[in-house]
Structure 1
Amino acid sequence: RRQSWDYRVGPHSMASTPSRLVVLSLLCAGLFLVCLTLQSPMIASSSRGTQVIRRLVRPMIPAMMPRSSPIGSRGGPRAFCDAVGSKDKPERRKRVLSGVQPTGTIHLGNYLGAIKQWVDNQDKYENFFCVVDLHAITVPHVPKELKESIIKTAGLYIACGIDPSKSKIFVQSHVSAHAELTWLLNCATPLNWLERMIQFKEKARKQGDSVSVALLDYPVLMASDILLYQADLVPVGEDQRQHLELTRDIARRFNDQYCKGNQAKKLRGTSRPVFKEPEALMAKGAARIMSLDDGTNKMSKSAPSDLSRINLLDTADQIREKIKKCKTDSIKGIEYDNPDRPEATNLLNIYSQATGAPVEDLLNEVESKSWGEFKPLVADALVEQLKPIREKYNEVTKDPEILAGVLEDGAAAANEVASTTHLWAKEAMGFIPPGKVRETLVAPTKKKEKVA
């Protein structure tokens, strides 16, 4: 006959059977010890440990619970067991890698098209932002100016709002794995893939016979930058999409060649791919900022005339002078998206980005104005927008220790991630990792002994 378990004194109560009390006491003590064990970080963080504890706890609890609290009811034993180790783990944030070349100075187009997006997404992603100085030497440069530009670019990252406590800021050449991985990827990249790059063709046409091998290899270095950090997302504009697709192709080709099959498993102990294929992170709501002296060309650091761009460190007077002298037309009124009036469209985009107001609203306000009336509005809005950046930059660069500390910490964090990926790539290709020479020499000997 099935006896009921309750806490009343009677013929079928626990109190009437001393042996049951002993068993129950032991079970309670055991459960208490289990609960204490769950406080251990090692156990709590281990899914395997959690499963073991669940298997131990489940059989104990029914004997200690009244029949009125069936297993599986809300708050009953199953709820307790399922709660063991079920603490939600924070979801891993996607990783972003991006950078700007330290050639010239960062201008309005760089800020609105890239850096402002980095700042806005800081809390959303895990970020690595580098000053890509290795890319800067793919074209002729002045060494002294390069040094100054590296510091200036890093300082402007912070001045624009990148928080070193949220994002890693570092100099590309301070992480040697960038250059080393580039060579490994070169050996896995067909030449014709690089020759069809549109940017290479355009720049090679301008440079003529002086074009360097490095300019051809630029996309492989860019692929190395991205793949080293296992980046999930890469902020790119339309002009960089082809390079990102090449990065994905290189990653796929490397993984196919070196990370599949039994041979790969013997070398690395796994046949999992070394590289992650990144996705493009397209800027939302960011207008393309064009040159001030030609509304059909993008604002560029390499343009010969400084009047063609608004530099982030330009003074208020310089900004007003550049806007005043920027190219316009003789047509009365301001229009937007008229292919025959690209300069009007460009200035409206700049005005919209500087004020934060939609173009449509601004157009209603200024469409009847002359250029002489409209340009001062744009200049004043830009002066107000860039003033905090100039002030923050002066503050950051006043004390060398601030910037030096940020770059050193950033390089250390970047090296930690990059060196791991670099090692995986070398192992996949058959290189002997440092410190594993003896292990490599001993392994064949052991195999021969086993065969014998």
Structure 2
Amino acid sequence: MAAFEPRVFSGIQPSGNLHLGNYLGAITKFVDLQESYNCVFCVVDMHAITVWQDPAGLEQRTREVTAGFLAAGIDPTKHIVFNQSQVPVHAELGWIFNCVARMGWLNRMTQFKDKAGKNRENVSTGLFVYPNLMSADILAYKATHVPVGEDQKQHLELARDTAQKFNIDFADRIADLGYGVDNLNRDATTDPEKVFFPQPEPLIGGPAPRVMSLRDGSKKMSSSDASDKARINLTDDAETIALKIRKAKTDAEALPSEVEGLEGRPEAANLVGIYAALSGKEKAQILGEFGGSEFSKFKPALVELSLDKLSPITDEMRRLMDDKSHIDKILCEGAEKASAIAEPVLDQVKDIVGFIRKA
């Protein structure tokens, strides 16, 4: 019996400006994964509308994320790049998973609690069942690996739970239809004839899994931050990037010579971490070079490095954004390739569940 083909699925929401945190925490990892896996990279625009989006802005940001993927080095001819809403399988499988996942699982999702806050009675139902759609995103491709940040690990656990519950609930039906697959991650007691979905494994972090705000080192860099000075957008020009780094919050002490010296100094730790990630070095190496230096010396070096690494990406993103038809063509072609994988999976799910479908 064949095993699951190793495949990576990951996506980024087009709900705000693509920024340095997205690049270092996710996109650079995506680029590296291309060498080892068949990859499916998705602009998850259906997730974005769990909170209200300006339609024109959503179109713009969907193309911007796509341009960021391409400019950073993702190859759409060898892998799949598409936007989620062009593949209806995500929505259909998401509904089926709404009926598989349990309310208790969703009630434990900390990200919903964080986003809803005290206003949870007025947020969209989409925000609540968001994790089930994420499960559908992953399992529609029977993805075996998912690069995730720390804040998404809980959602991946839910996808694993959903896959397991589906396999258990419909075990005999899966076997009767001959749809079982040898699960690479299965328990030794599991009959492979009764396994349909894999339990995807997390791939944690990029060179800087958690890039923090330039204005507050205790908060994650975010497109939703009210201050644009808190983040470096991948579309920022050289002058803007330089100004944001020069104005980034720091403390009055010199940089330490040892990594342990960064404890309790979140802004210093963040800037050193950004430098390390952009340079491909360890924090200890950076402090070996700059330990004892004031930020007045370190920041200009960080500006120079940032411009060296980011300017080519910014320039390429702008070039791509000037040709919307080219980006739309890539997304359309990617959606066709994604559908070719996902639609047969959904057809089999419908058979397993007991839906009558077109022959």
Q: 5 Å matches for 1:48-447? A: 94-205=6-117, 207-258=119-170, 260-261=171-172, 265=175, 272-283=194-205, 285-334=207-256, 336-337=259-260, 338-435=262-359
Preserved CA contact (<8 Å) 1:274 1:424: no
Q: CA RMSD in A?
A: 2.0
C-alpha distance after superposition, 1:350-386 (max 9, x if no partner): 1112222332222122122212222111111111110
Preserved CA contact (<8 Å) 1:219 1:246: yes
Give the TM-score normalised by structure 2: 0.90
Separation in 1, partners of 2:237, 2:278? 16
Separation in 2, partners of 1:157, 1:175? 19
Do the aligned partners of residues 206 and 370 (structure 1) sit closer, same or farther apart at CA in structure 2, a change above 3 Å counting?
A: farther
Do the aligned partners of residues 109 and 206 (structure 1) sit closer, same or farther apart at CA in structure 2, a change above 3 Å counting?
A: farther
The count of aligned residue pairs is 343
Separation in 1, partners of 2:127, 2:209? 28
Preserved CA contact (<8 Å) 1:251 1:275: yes
Preserved CA contact (<8 Å) 1:232 1:276: yes
Q: Which runs of 5+ in 1 are unaligned?
A: 1-90, 436-452
Separation in 2, partners of 1:299, 1:126? 29
Give the letter for the 2:158 counterpart: L
Separation in 2, partners of 1:323, 1:135? 31
Preserved CA contact (<8 Å) 2:207 2:280: no
Give the TM-score normalised by structure 1: 0.72
What is the CA-CA distance between 1:93 and the residue it aligns to? Answer: 6.1
SS in structure 1 of the partner of residue 249 of structure 2: coil
Preserved CA contact (<8 Å) 2:207 2:277: no
What is the CA-CA distance between 1:343 and the residue it aligns to? Answer: 0.6
What is the CA-CA distance between 1:407 and the residue it aligns to? Answer: 1.1
Q: Which has the higher contact order (CA 8 A, sep 6+)?
A: 2
Separation in 2, partners of 1:246, 1:233? 14
Preserved CA contact (<8 Å) 1:334 1:344: no
SS in structure 2 of the partner of residue 234 of structure 1: strand
Preserved CA contact (<8 Å) 1:175 1:414: yes
Q: Percent identity?
A: 43
What is the CA-CA distance between 1:316 and the residue it aligns to? Answer: 0.7
What is the CA-CA distance between 1:110 and the residue it aligns to? Answer: 0.7
C-alpha distance after superposition, 1:194-215 (max 9, x if no partner): 0011111111215443222111
SS in structure 1 of the partner of residue 10 of structure 2: strand
Do the aligned partners of residues 399 and 141 (structure 1) sit closer, same or farther apart at CA in structure 2, a change above 3 Å counting?
A: closer
